[in-house]
């Protein structure tokens, strides 16, 4: 299987970046569910501070690959990996890796907004409390900063004690993004973060991704080609677990090198 993995220029941390660069790379990485190899020998270097989209037809392994990055697949019976996945030079599946610390540095946002059935404030404070013993003042400051970063502060600042489930779907998703940002991650994984949202709420999340770009490394799985074209710098096209093509989004969309990419883009399958 042809794998196109152009060398990606790695730039130093831009001004405003939250942390020095810590980047994600797959080296001949595979993930198996029992005998089913859902991700097949993928080699992929994901640059920091940019937005990388993972696209491909249903069942091609997008979520599996994404979830492998912060070891969200750990508890699946029969799940195992081969090859290497590196984050900040460390082997994510290495024996000494601290998974809690990893997940603090690599946050995740899911397809369906999943706030805790708690107050808006506690949704954010909760994750942060797990990691740090903060005083009340610091905690409130974190809540405000995170909600501002997620573009939700103005809408909720007067109702922080309301239950998070009273928010609209789009607001709930931005709350989940705020919750992920509250622990100061370096990487944000998003698995179809807008597929449960209407076009307006989707546009807000896409704007938010554009704002977070340059400060966080964002890896987003999407079924929506227009969304990949709008929000991402790089696009990886997966097909049946194989990485078929990877490169600058503009290039992939206007001039795919592989026929299968083109067929998928033009709606011939998927």
Ligand X SMILES: Nc1ncnc2c1ncn2[C@@H]1O[C@H](COP(=O)(O)OP(=O)(O)OP(=O)(O)O)[C@@H](O)[C@H]1O
For the bound state, the minimum distance from the C-beta of residue 117 to ligand X, rounded and expressed in Å, comes to 25
Of Mg ion, ligand X, none, which one does residue 38 interact with (CB within 5 to 8 Å by kind)?
Answer: ligand X
**Using an 8 Å Cβ cutoff, are 217 and 186 in contact?**
yes
State which residue, 183 or 244, has the beta carbon closest to ligand X.
Answer: 244
Question: Which of 63, 171, 202, 261: binder of Mg ion (CB under 5 A)?
Answer: 63
Burial bucket for residue 259 (CB in 10 Å: 0-12, 13-18, 19+) = exposed
Distances (CA, A) of 269 to 6, 12, 83, 262: 26, 39, 30, 10
Token pair belonging to 123:
């949704």
**Cβ-contact 64, 42 below 8 angstroms:** no
Q: Let me know: does 243 contact 44? Beta carbons within 8 Å.
A: yes
Quick one: which of 47, 61, 185, 193 contacts ligand X (CB under 6 A)?
61
Question: Which residues ranging from 176 to 235 are in contact with ligand X (CB under 6 A)?
Answer: 223
Angle made by CA atoms 58, 63, 64, in degrees to the nearest 5: 110
User: Nearest CA to 190 among 150, 155, 156, 163?
Assistant: 150
Between residues 37 and 163, which has the closer beta carbon with respect to Mg ion? 37
Smallest separation (angstroms) from ligand X to the CB of 195:
9
- Does residue 194 bind Mg ion (CB under 5 A)? no
Q: Would you say the C-alpha torsion 247, 208, 112, 266 has a positive or negative sign? A: negative
Instruction: Please work out the total of residues on this chain that contact ligand X, with binding judged by CB under 6 A.
Output: 13
Distance between CA atoms of residues 118 and 121, nearest Å: 8
Q: Which of 8, 42, 60, 220 touches ligand X by CB under 6 A?
A: 60
Q: Which span sits near ligand X by CB under 6 A: 22-30, 62-70, 177-185, 256-264?
A: 62-70
117 touches ligand X by CB under 6 A = no
Alpha-carbon torsion, ordered 23, 28, 33, 34, to 10 deg: -140
Q: How far is the CB of 43 from Mg ion (least distance, A)?
A: 21
- Should residue 265 be labelled a site residue for ligand X when binding is judged by CB under 6 A? no
Q: Which of 14, 59, 74, 162 binds ligand X (CB under 6 A)?
A: 59
Q: State the residue number with the nearest CB to Mg ion.
A: 63
**213: partner contacted, choices ligand X, Mg ion, none (Cβ within 5-8 A by kind):** none
Draw the binding track, 11-40, toward ligand X (x: CB under 6 A; -: no contact). ----------------------x--x-x--
| CA–centroid distance for 83 within its chain | 21
Residue 16 CA to residue 215 CA, distance in Å, equals 6
Report if residue 64 touches Mg ion, rule: CB under 5 A. Answer: no
**Which range touches ligand X (CB under 6 A), out of 5-13, 52-60, 164-172, 257-265?**
52-60
Q: Which residues sit at the interface with Mg ion, rule CB under 5 A?
A: 63
Q: Which residues sit at the interface with ligand X, rule CB under 6 A?
A: 33, 36, 38, 56, 58-64, 76, 223
């Amino acid at each position: 299987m042809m794998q196109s993995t152009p060398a990606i220029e790695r730039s130093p941390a831009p001004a405003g970046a939250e942390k020095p660069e810590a980047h994600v790379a797959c080296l001949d990485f595979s993930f198996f569910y029992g005998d089913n190899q859902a991700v097949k020998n993928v080699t992929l270097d994901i640059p920091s501070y940019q937005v990388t989209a993972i696209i491909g037809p249903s069942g091609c392994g997008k979520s599996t690959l994404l979830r492998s990055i912060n070891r969200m697949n750990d508890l699946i019976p029969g799940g195992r990996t081969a090859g290497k996945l590196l984050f900040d030079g460390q082997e994510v599946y290495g024996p000494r890796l601290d998974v809690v610390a990893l997940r603090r540095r690599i946050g995740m946002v899911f397809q369906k907004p999943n706030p805790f059935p708690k107050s808006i404030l506690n949704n954010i404070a909760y994750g942060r409390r797990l990691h740090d013993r903060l005083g009340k003042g610091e905690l409130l400051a974190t809540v405000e900063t995170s909600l501002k970063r997620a573009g939700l502060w103005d809408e909720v600042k007067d109702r922080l004690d309301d239950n998070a489930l009273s928010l609209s779907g789009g607001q709930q998703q931005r709350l989940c993004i705020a919750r992920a940002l509250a622990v100061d991650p370096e990487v944000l994984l998003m698995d179809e973060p807008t597929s449960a949202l209407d076009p307006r709420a989707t546009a807000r999340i896409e704007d938010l991704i554009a704002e977070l770009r340059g400060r966080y490394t964002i890896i987003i799985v999407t079924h929506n080609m227009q969304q990949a074209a709008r929000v991402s710098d790089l696009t990886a096209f997966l097909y049946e677990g194989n990485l078929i093509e990877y490169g600058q989004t503009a290039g992939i969309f206007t001039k795919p090198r592989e026929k299968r990419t083109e067929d998928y883009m033009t709606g011939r399958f998927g």
